[in-house]
Amino acid sequence: QKTEWEKLKNEKSVTKDGKAFTVAANIGTPKDLEGVVDNGSEAIGLYRTEFLYMDSAELPSEDDQFEAYKAVLEGMSGKPVVVRTMDIGGDKKLPYLPLPEEMNPFLGYRAIRISLDRDDIFRTQLRALLRASNYGKLRIMFPMIATVAEFRQAKGILEEEKAKLIANGQAVSDDLQVGMMVEIPASAVLANQFAKEVDFFSIGTNDLIQYTMAADRMNERVSYLYQPYNPAILRLVKNVIDASHKEGKWTGMCGEAAGDSIMAPLLVGMGLDEFSMSATSVLRVRSLMKRLDTTELADLVETAVNVNTSNEENQKLVEDYMSNL
């Protein structure tokens, strides 16, 4: 099996009937690039920049950040790179940025909520990103967006920093996209409205499942509720994909579910544009896609989303379908 996958390294990700998808990788630092390139990833669908902040004894400077972003963009030689702005809070803490103790950190002061409040930190990161944009195909993404107003505010700050750089004679790429994570149920429900304003969505299933099922993603006692194939989750995912396509935008997925073999046929059937996962899963998913025929998958999706009522039924639905291929 390994050697069969090896052969797919330099191939595109296409289904049996010739539909192309992007299979991308998630990274945490520029050091992860080697694995990304070795496994033939077509893009980086999620660069979690919080590690830059967590691996540092103080807030990383604009230049330190610029160097890291530039290294990743150059390392991908013009392939798209989705960089997510700082997603601190929840379980991720910074020693030099003490946050108040909270009853529910996952429902608290985190990610874009901190960035909009501490816009000094946010603007530094955005300037570093804008300067790095000249070295590749950069897509900037905001985490934990709950309201259209938050997205507008974040994008407005980005536009201000861009205008200032340009006024100072600094170049900024004109091939820059600005999108958001969909990981809060409110934004998945309101995807049609968000789709008018974003360039792309990336669905974060790790948090989307946690918040939709009201089950802490770190708590083993409720891990049985962590149900990626639950029709409630699938319906939200499909809503986001459809809403983006209606506005001519694209949708990726960067949560764990994007690399899951049961999810893949459902997501291909829904027309998810980009699948982003750990680099070691890229070739397995590319190989799986080759076995799928998109013209057959509409029925599978319809049953999973509108007929079945449980995670288990949907798991069995896909397993049966795949074993009969």
CB 200 within 8 A of CB 139: yes
Catalytic positions, written as ranges: 254
One-letter amino acid of 269: G
Report the C-alpha gap between 270 and 91 in whole angstroms: 32
Binding to ligand PEP (CB under 6 A) within 277-316 occurs at none
Does 48 show up as a binding residue in the annotation? yes
The reply to whether 50 sits near Mg ion by the rule CB under 5 A is: no
Binding mask 149-188 for ligand PEP (x = CB under 6 A): ----------------------------------x-----
> What is the nearest approach in angstroms of ligand PEP to the Cβ of residue 213?
13
Strand, helix or coil for residue 319: helix
Nearer to Mg ion, 161 or 274 (CB): 274
For residue 52, count other CB atoms closer than 10 A to its CB.
Answer: 21
The reply to whether 141 sits near ligand PEP by the rule CB under 6 A is: no
The alpha helices in 133-291, defined as continuous H runs, are 148-167, 185-189, 191-194, 205-213, 231-246, 263-270, 282-290
CB 160 within 8 A of CB 152: no
The reply to whether 204 sits near Mg ion by the rule CB under 5 A is: yes
Residue of 255, 259, 265, 269 interacting with ligand PEP (CB under 6 A): 255
Residue found by looking up tokens 């991308």 in the block = 24
Report the C-alpha gap between 25 and 280 in whole angstroms: 9
Residue of 48, 110, 127, 137 interacting with ligand PEP (CB under 6 A): 48
> What is the nearest approach in angstroms of Mg ion to the Cβ of residue 2?
31
Binding to Mg ion (CB under 5 A) within 205-234 occurs at 207
Give the residue among 309, 291, 243 at the shortest CA–CA distance from 270: 243
Bind-site residues for phosphoenolpyruvate: 48, 84, 206-207, 217
By the criterion CB under 6 A, which residues form the site for ligand PEP? 46, 48, 87, 183, 204-207, 254-255
